[in-house]
Amino acid sequence: MDGYTLNAARTIREYESSIQRPKAERTINDSILSALLRGDELPEMDVKAIRQYGIQCSEYLDFGYDVDASLSGMLSPHAVLEPRPNTPYVFRRAGFDNLPFIYTQRHLRNAIAPKEADSHQHGLTIEQIKSLPEKLEEPVVVFDQPNYTVNGRSFEGKGVAAVLDMYDPDGVPVIAYFFPNGYGTKTNDNGCSNVIASLYGRDNFTSYLARAANEEKILYIDSEKYEQMEKELPRYGGTRFPPALAALSMDIIIPSSYICKMKAEINPKLSDCEREHNSLNRTMHIKVADSRRNRLAQDRDKPRNITPRYDDDSHDSQ
């Protein structure tokens, strides 16, 4: 067996250990690694899968190293973390530009602080944070943020959110909030990053998702992951997916009306985008027939000149 495949397997093993993936779920177990060390021939399909996943795990590990450097004080306080150098397929089809995802060090510290300490601290594990680049590959649900009310005043939801395949200490599915394509940043211009504004288990999760469904803001539901999470959620008590979500089409990607609106506001010539989105009203969808194949087909070019411009946990209270 060539050294390239063996190195890829070792990279996968290192990543899966770094996120404490259960041994039963690991891609590279002891028998596969032993076979590679002995020089045994593996099926060509397995070799290709190991090599491809090894490339991905190498990028995931880079983010994990930066997480460790940040928490140990070895990373410059002015640096930002980059969970992904590019944008996964699902988010692209929802309207995100192919840009890096960035995450500030302050948000990292808030995410792993004990949940009961403060409303902006969320009790996630370091291993969960390190798995973020991979979790973004396959979100369970993607949606435009629903409208909300504060002190009796109604506000329009801003940004895009996703339910990820992980749980907070109370067993609530973790939601990531994004300002895509630089929208919503303090400089309010078309930036060069997709900003992860927050990452935590959402209080009143069921009613929150129901509100998004009722306002027709659900953009995508992964049927396989949705069904798996539905099976797991009962053990966590009252946290469930709302019935309104199950009634929607699965594995369909709908363009984000929030992103269309932001593009129209920045460039009036694009105002037809929002009008087209509204007129089609879910009749023009993009079917994900094989999400893994589609994602692997995307280019992995790394954009340059990453500039953070957003660092605010204001969405935690919505």
Q: How far apart are CA 192 and CA 201, in angstroms?
A: 27
Q: How far apart are CA 83 and CA 67, in angstroms?
A: 9
The pLDDT-based confidence of 150 (bands split at 50, 70, 90) is low
Of residues 282 and 89, more confidence is placed in 89
Q: How far apart are CA 303 and CA 262, in angstroms?
A: 22
In the DSSP assignment, the letter for residue 216 is T
37 with 6: CB under 8 angstroms?
Answer: yes
Structure tokens at 138: 């396959």
H or E element in which residue 144 lies: strand 141-144
276-306 burial, b at 16+ Cβ within 10 Å, e below that, comes to ebeeeeeeeebebeebeebbeeeeeeeeeeb
What are the residue boundaries of the structural domains of the chain, listed by start?
1-78, 80-317
pLDDT in the model for residue 290: 41
pLDDT, tens only, 56-112: 999 999 999 999 999 999 998 888 999 999 999 999 999 999 999 999 999 999 899
The pLDDT-based confidence of 289 (bands split at 50, 70, 90) is very low
pLDDT, tens only, 222-234: 999 999 998 887 7
DSSP states along 81-111: EEEESS--HHHHHTT--S--EEE-HHHHHHH
pLDDT in the model for residue 296: 38
Phi, psi of 142 (to 5 degrees): -120, 135
155 with 147: CB under 8 angstroms?
Answer: yes
DSSP states along 106-135: HHHHHHHS-GGG-TT-----HHHHHTHHHH
Q: How far apart are CA 142 and CA 314, in angstroms?
A: 20
pLDDT, tens only, 118-136: 555 568 999 999 999 999 9
129 with 105: CB under 8 angstroms?
Answer: no
Residue 274 CA: distances (Å) to CA of 136, 280, 284, 304, 311: 26, 10, 13, 29, 28
pLDDT-wise least confident of 98-102, 157-161, 236-240: 236-240
Locus of tokens 């089809």: 93
Structure tokens at 194: 């997709």
The pLDDT-based confidence of 313 (bands split at 50, 70, 90) is very low
Share of residues in the chain with pLDDT > 70 (%): 75
Mean pLDDT of the residues in the chain: 80
pLDDT in the model for residue 121: 57
Locus of tokens 């404490």: 20
181 with 158: CB under 8 angstroms?
Answer: no
pLDDT in the model for residue 196: 94
Structure tokens at 118: 């403060």
Q: How far apart are CA 108 and CA 112, in angstroms?
A: 7
**160 three-class SS:** strand
Segment 170-193 mean pLDDT:
72
Structure tokens at 183: 């929208």
Residue type, 155: F
Structure tokens at 186: 């303090």
230-247 burial, b at 16+ Cβ within 10 Å, e below that, comes to eeebeeeeebebbeebee
pLDDT in the model for residue 118: 52
Structure tokens at 187: 């400089």
